[in-house]
Amino acid sequence: MPVTNDEVLRALSVVKDPDLGRDLVTLGMIENVNIDQTGNVSFTIVLTTPACPVKEQLKQQSESVVSAIPGVRDVTAEVTSRVRSGTMTQREGIPGVRNTIAVGSGKGGVGKSTVAVNLALALAREGASVGLLDADVYGPNVPLMMGSNGRPQQSEDGKIIPVEAYGIKLISMGFFIDPDSPVIWRGPMLTKLLTQFMYDVQWGELDYLVMDMPPGTGDVQLTAAQQLPLTGAVMVSTPQDVALLDAGKALMMFKKLNVPVLGIVENMSTFVCPHCNEPTDLFGHGGAQAAAVRYGVPFLGEIPLHLRIREGGDNGRPVVASEPNSPQADNFVQVARNLAAQVSVVAYKQQESKRGAPMAFFSKR
């Protein structure tokens, strides 16, 4: 008997997305099933993000269960993605931007901007379209770290055209002021600028807009949490208690303002001596993971304290772009994949609660 579409879908219904907790068929993630007369089967797996951390696992499982159907000779699964929006629907969305991610910290000096820059590059490296908004108005470091000293132009319709570097669209106060000029503004001016950077920039189609927030819980964070269409927030902390204490306060601010906390990143986690290769936990180790358990939020991963990461930020060649095959770049990629998975979970929960039907999550655009 020839193999049927129903048999293929029935076989694939045992393969589950581990983050969303449902099978690929129920989620509508299987498309373009084709069966020829000789028993060759092909289909498309539409993932929730190009940075899916279990992409290969899902592909292998899907091909395996279909191969077990009697009469199937060969199986080919093509993997693609369709990023869904997880932004708060009750707020005005940014045209073309599907997800906005705030990267924050409780205090300065924990490498928040380094993490934000390299996460943006890692998401783009995985195939996503990404923008980077430098919301740290008092200390705009993104232009230096991305090696860009251009100046945004204005489009015919009055929009700000962002600067581009390494395939990432950038906007920062640093593009508009002299490097030595301080920004001496009160809260209302900061709020107005942040809103302008969100809505008056010609972002185009983006899967993720990463926002490098200032440290702490000030006006910029409140504006972002209360007025802007955030998908969620990521907390960056070093492992020691003093940093985690402040990170916890920033995390709880977002929680109290109903912004999903997508997870915690432990930066400067371990230092490996370049001479003897002996690992040393200069700032401790595991503190951020313990904090993630305590606050009931995901732990996204660890970033080591490494010379190449620091040098990359200082010379405008971030390690994910300049040394993409290095272990340090791989650390950022793993964190980016875990982050993308959490964004997909937020989007799925919003769709499910709004429509009440899992299949609607992957209705075609």
Specify the pairing of strand 130-134 against strand 168-172: parallel
* In a shared domain, residues 10 and 114: no
Q: Over pLDDT 70: what percentage of the chain? A: 96
Q: How confident is the model at residue 90 (pLDDT cuts 50, 70, 90)?
A: low
Average pLDDT over residues 147-167: 93
- Domain membership of residue 28 as a residue range: 5-82
Predicted confidence at residue 166, as pLDDT, reads: 97
Based on the domain organization, do 52 and 110 belong to the same domain? Answer: no
Indicate if 262 and 140 belong to the same structural domain.
yes
Helices (H), the chain: 5-12, 55-67, 112-125, 142-145, 187-199, 219-227, 241-256, 287-295, 307-314, 319-322, 327-355
The 10s digit of each residue's pLDDT in 103-123 is: 999 999 999 999 999 999 999
Please check the confidence at residue 91 and state whether its pLDDT lies above 50: yes
Domain identity same for 58 and 145: no
Structural domain includes residue 362: no
Q: How confident is the model at residue 89 (pLDDT cuts 50, 70, 90)?
A: low
- The reported pLDDT for the residue numbered 358 is 52
Name the pTM for this structure.
Answer: 0.92
Number of domains the chain contains: 2
Q: What is the pLDDT of residues 218-233, one digit of tens each?
A: 889 998 988 889 999 9
User: For 12-59, what is each residue's pLDDT tens digit?
Assistant: 999 999 999 999 999 999 999 999 999 999 999 999 999 999 999 999
Q: How far apart are CA 191 and CA 176, in angstroms?
A: 17
d(CA 14, CA 95) in angstroms, rounded, equals: 37
- Do 160 and 256 belong to one domain? yes
Cβ contacts of 15 within 8 Å, gap of 6 or more? 23, 24, 58, 61, 62, 65
User: Rounded to the nearest 10 degrees, how much is the dihedral formed by the CA atoms of 13, 51, 110, 215?
Assistant: -90
Do residues 67 and 186 both lie within one domain?
no
Most confident segment among 1-5, 214-218, 299-303, 357-361: 299-303
361 located within any domain? no
Q: Is the pLDDT of residue 201 over 80?
A: yes
Handedness of CA 239, 241, 243, 244 (dihedral sign): positive
State whether 231 and 138 are in the same domain: yes
